[in-house]
Amino acid sequence: MKVLGLDLGSQTLGVAISDSLGIVASPIGTYKINKNNLHMAIDYVRILVKEHNIQKVVLGLPKNMDGSIGPQAEYCLTFKEMIEKELMIEVIMVDERLTSRIADQVMIKADISRQKRKHHIDKLAASIILQTYLDSIRN
């Protein structure tokens, strides 16, 4: 069962996909969207779901550090509802606090330049979000 992992920002959508066994998450890209244009994002997700025969979507939920829900998390919850309604597919929300920071640290340790990190951060964050989910269902 392939699972799609998403890291939604106001102008980007980081994307990762699992292998067919649902064990390993791999980053596949970052999709640029017009500022807060969820319709552009849903169109891209629709293509990926069809192309990769996705059966479930994992979407990062950017809670505040105190666990509360802020405007960015509300934005992601709206996107979740859109995916479920328009694509008729289950969406699992995963707490994504600190995933971008973890992704940045991984790239720093790999000695990736700041400019290259900027281009890869969202898809790597999506991969971390998806891998967190995949690990949680195996345990």
Residue-level pLDDT at 60: 95
Q: Higher-confidence residue: 120 or 47?
A: 47
Domain segments of the chain: what residues?
3-138
* Residue reference for tokens 């500022």: 35
d(CA 55, CA 4): 8
- Report the predicted TM-score, pTM, of the whole model to 2 decimal places: 0.86
**3-138 CATH:** 3.30.420.140
Name the percent of the chain lying above pLDDT 70. Answer: 82
Q: Residues 132, 26: contact at Cβ < 8 Å?
A: no
User: Could you read off the pLDDT of 85-97 as tens digits, one per residue?
Assistant: 999 999 999 988 7
d(CA 97, CA 73): 11
User: Could you read off the pLDDT of 79-135 as tens digits, one per residue?
Assistant: 999 999 999 999 999 988 766 666 656 656 666 666 655 666 788 889 999 999 999
70 — pLDDT class (breaks 50, 70, 90): confident
Identify the bridge partners of residue 58 per DSSP, sorted by sequence position. Answer: 5, 92
